[in-house]
Amino acid sequence: MLYNINGLKKNKYNIERIKLNLYYALMGFLIIFLSYNFQIHNKNAFGINVIIYILIGIFVYRVVLENTYFNSIVNGFNSLKFHKFKRKRSFHISIREWYLNSKIKTNEIKLIIGVLHEKNKREEQHSYRVSKLCEDMGKALSLSQVQIKELKTVGLLHDIGKIAIEDNILNKPDKLTSDEWAEMKKHAEIGYEILNSYEDMSQMAKYVLYHHEKWDGSGYPNNLKGEEIPLQSRIIAIADSYDAMVSERCYRNALPEEFAIEQLKNNADTQFDGRLIKIFLEKVLEKKL
């Protein structure tokens, strides 16, 4: 379990908070203990003592006041994995897992998402719903916790490229012209370029790039077909299409759930991965086929 300070429930008896406080107490005790013992044996080492006090001050400021540095340490330690190989133990740190499970979300990405959601409030709610559907699909497929976290994140970011689409196209209440539709379709590639410019997000960038590809190869931007399309992109395509149908859009009212389900069934093995459609309907929407 990860102890994310900003994500803890507001319950002072929460086990997570108790454990986190124990982490604080232990680290603070170690710093004070080491500095005290050093000063006893080095009373004349004025410069070293000053450095120790500065380090203590930095610790208090960063950990107690900002709650950022320590949060990264705790999440990092939670990502450590022990692997037994016969009589040997190797200490393995999964950098990708550390990244996905920690609070590393760049200010630039947050800013872009914030601006996009300001441009179109419907997109904000749509992104969160798609994110939740992707997370549920990950659980239904028994993916690892890291993969589920990744799906949840990329579900939230799947339309980030729409930040570069003009408002009059993004919020147009009528049917798009062919030129406007061509412009709208660029959002997948723009989203890829944005995410791919950040270290460790190149894989998620590909999922965003391909989330409008179709099972029969008629999608965009690269006309990928079948399992050439990453699993995560296929999942996003289903979640995105379903939520788009059952939600109010700027050009139409929300469609009935029964209609949306029928459309998913009718487009299985053409637009969507038929196996995933079955799982989505049965395990995520809990509908009997």
Quick one: how far is CA 198 from the chain centroid? 14
Residue (of 152, 85, 158) closest to 116 by Cα position: 158
Q: Own/partner pairs for 75-84, CB < 8 Å, 24+ apart?
A: 75/2, 75/3, 75/4, 75/101, 75/102, 75/103, 76/102, 78/1, 78/2, 78/3
Q: Report the alpha-carbon distance of residue 2 to residue 12 in Å, rounded.
A: 17
Q: Are 134 and 235 in contact (CB under 8 A)?
A: yes
Nearest partner of 232 among 162, 161, 143, 145, judged by Cα: 143
Instruction: Calculate the alpha carbon distances from 37 to 23, 29, 41, 47, 54 in Å.
Output: 21, 12, 7, 16, 17
Exposure of 187 by Cβ count < 10 A (0-12 exposed, 13-18 middle, 19+ buried)? buried
By the 8 A CB rule, do 159 and 123 touch?
A: yes
Is 10 among the catalytic positions?
no
Cβ distance 194 to 227 under 8 Å?
A: no
The string of DSSP codes covering 190-210 is HHHHHHHTSTT-HHHHHHHHT
In whole angstroms, give the CA distance from residue 195 to residue 192.
5
Q: Which of 9, 84, 103, 162 is catalytic?
A: 162
DSSP lists the bridge partners of residue 93 as: 80
CA distance 247 to 166: 22
Name the residues annotated as catalytic.
162
